[in-house]
Amino acid sequence: MSLDRLIILGGGITGLTTALQMRKQFNEIVIVERDEYPTNGNERRFTPQGHHIHVLLARGVSELFRCVSELPHWFDEAGLLESDLTGDIWVAQAGNWLPRRPCGIPTRPCTRPLLEQMLLRALGRYRHISLLDCTKVKAVIGTNSVEGAVLMYKNGETQELRGDLVVDARGRNSQVVQEIEVMGHGLARETVVDAKVAYASCFFKPNTGASLPCSVLAAIGSFGRDPRIGTLMSVGNGQWLATIINYAGSAPPKTVDAFLEQSAALCVPDLHEHLIRAEPSSQVTLNKNTANRRRHFNELKGWPERYVVVGDAACCFNPRFGQGITVATIGARLLADELTAHLAARTTLDGFSRRFQLALDKQLESPWQMATMEDKGWIALQRGRISLTDKMRIALSRRLLETMAADYDTYIRVNRVAHMLHPIGTLLSPRTLAKFLLPQARRLS
């Protein structure tokens, strides 16, 4: 079956990686993005998390580099070298440094604008892929089967664009739930886990000759007691990017002076000592739109043909665990793989959309559990009314963190799950459970 046009609504990381993964399956791909892509590599208006630190999880590194073979070289050119998760990223938890020996799990520190520029560079090689920026999606065309979308350009003109398959990659603010209901397929249930997390970030210029001892420094407070996390990393071009994450609704810093003051209150002094010897090179930027939100499309009895939802439009995460980009890349590859399998058995796209949404929902289960475990504990503490379930969740979260700090094998096993290299069920092995349940004799140095 020959597929003519793929329409991707949304040109963020999800939309761009979807186009790259699907490039061999369609004669034409059109990406529709409401923002304007800056040529100077600055953050886009509608990507609030674009101002803050990103670390590509190991699975995300693998998926992206498999899709664009030049990416490792481009990252190296930008000064964002491959890091070993435990050897090059130094993490202090509740005032104690976690093990720093190499474990072989690769990561890449990055910024979202830089990654988007790299993906746009890769897409520029394909003549059949076009990008319509500064273009809004006014409506999706169709009811039982989606045929395209109504677009409005920067000059106010509108046009109907039709295609064989429409992909919603519009992010956490997508109106897809309302659109599906208007089409007559029911209102999708949403699960929201909001720990009132706020991000504050600021760029710093280090003094001549100053450098970080690792690729990323991170300080994580005691779970349930200290609601503040700090991170500092080099982002190339002689710049450091520092981020302070506040849990439980605690006030984020809004000025550079307040930022430095909060950095001094982190569980270890290292980040603050680096920052006070550097010069701030930007204002402080904030992001409070950090709730975990999962849309249960799999529960709907009906679903429109030729319409699929990927990335944050289907499930978005508190950025604290760095899962968003990786989940987006996994979803894009899953979409391409599922389409290939479907067309091998069928001569039409009938049934494909629902098949994909069910497959994606299964993929989301493990990262969702990882992302929401701690946040649910913080929410219970904020409420002040702690149920027995909440008490068990808080105790288990604290115990897990203590075991990670005391046992290197458990620390690596948890990180392999967090980086989506292993399913969450691997933490239920007898060996890991024994270490988790039995008291630890001593903490690792």
User: How many Cβ atoms sit within 10 Å of the Cβ of residue 124?
Assistant: 10
User: Per residue in 285-332, pLDDT tens?
Assistant: 999 989 999 999 999 989 999 999 999 999 999 988 888 899 999 999
Q: What are the beta bridge partners of residue 6?
A: 29, 165
Helix (H, G, I), strand (E, B) or coil at 366: helix
Please give the structure tokens belonging to residue 411.
């620390």
- Backbone φ, ψ for residue 287 (5° rounding): -145, 120
Token match 């289907």: residue?
314
Instruction: Check if the beta carbon of residue 143 is closer than 8 Å to that of residue 97.
Output: no
Quick one: pLDDT at residue 240?
A: 94
What is the token pair recorded at 144? 């039982």
What's the mean pLDDT when you consider all of the chain?
A: 89
Q: Are 330 and 63 in contact (CB under 8 A)?
A: yes
- With 80 as the cut, is the pLDDT of residue 435 above it? no
Residue 29: pLDDT over 70: yes
Lowest mean pLDDT among 43-52, 60-69, 355-364, 405-414: 43-52
| Stretch 167-189: mean pLDDT | 95
Q: Which residue has the tokens 């920052």?
A: 275
Given pLDDT bands bounded at 50, 70 and 90, which one contains residue 443?
very low
pLDDT at 33: 95
Q: In the prediction, which pLDDT does 393 show?
A: 74
The model's pLDDT over 256-271, given as tens digits with 9 standing for 90+, comes to 999 999 999 999 999 9
Q: Under DSSP, is residue 8 helix (H, G, I), strand (E, B) or coil? A: strand
Residues paired with 10 in a beta bridge = none
CB count, 10 Å around CB of 127? 7
In whole angstroms, give the CA distance from residue 315 to residue 348.
28
The pLDDT tens digits for 102-143 are: 999 998 888 888 899 999 999 999 999 999 999 999 999 999
Indicate the helix (H) or strand (E) that contains 339: helix 324-345
The rounded distance, in Å, linking the Cα atoms of 204 and 277 is 10
Q: Which domains does the chain have, with CATH numbers?
A: 5-46+112-191+292-368 (3.50.50.60), 54-110+198-287 (3.50.50.60), 385-437 (no CATH)
pLDDT at 111: 83
The DSSP-derived string for 37-69 is PPTT-PPPTT-GGGGS-EEE-HHHHHHHHHH-T
Helix (H, G, I), strand (E, B) or coil at 60: helix
Q: Which two tokens stand for residue 362?
A: 């299964």
Six-digit token pair at 59? 């699975």
- 222 pLDDT tier (thresholds 50, 70, 90): confident
* pLDDT at res. 444: 42
Question: What's residue 387's pLDDT?
Answer: 83
Q: Which residue has the tokens 């190339």?
A: 236
Q: What is the mean pLDDT of residues 375-381?
A: 87
The HSE-up count of residue 357 (CA atoms within 13 Å, CB side) is: 25
State both tokens at 353: 């959309």
Percentage of the chain lying above the pLDDT 90 cut: 60
* Cβ atoms 312, 328 nearer than 8 A: yes
Amino acid occupying residue 322: G
* CA distance linking residue 85 with residue 421, whole number of Å: 13
Average pLDDT (141-162) is 95
Q: Does the pLDDT at position 145 exceed 90?
A: yes
Mean pLDDT within 164-177? 95
The answer to whether the beta carbons of residues 415 and 104 sit under 8 Å apart is no
Model pTM score:
0.91
Q: How confident is the model at residue 40 (pLDDT cuts 50, 70, 90)?
A: low
Q: Does residue 408 contact residue 328 with C-beta atoms inside 8 Å?
A: no
* Cα diameter, the chain: 69
- What are the strands, taking DSSP E only, across 121-257? 129-132, 136-142, 146-152, 158-162, 165-168, 189-193, 198-206, 216-220, 228-234, 240-246
- The pLDDT value given to residue 441: 42
Share above pLDDT 70 across residues of the chain, in percent, rounded to a whole number: 95
- Give residue 46's pLDDT: 65
pLDDT confidence of residue 432: 75
Residue 99, pLDDT > 70, answer yes
HSE-up of 173 (CA within 13 Å, CB side)? 9
pLDDT of residue 440: 52
Residue pair 336/21 in contact (Cβ under 8 Å)? The answer is yes
Residue-level pLDDT at 80: 85
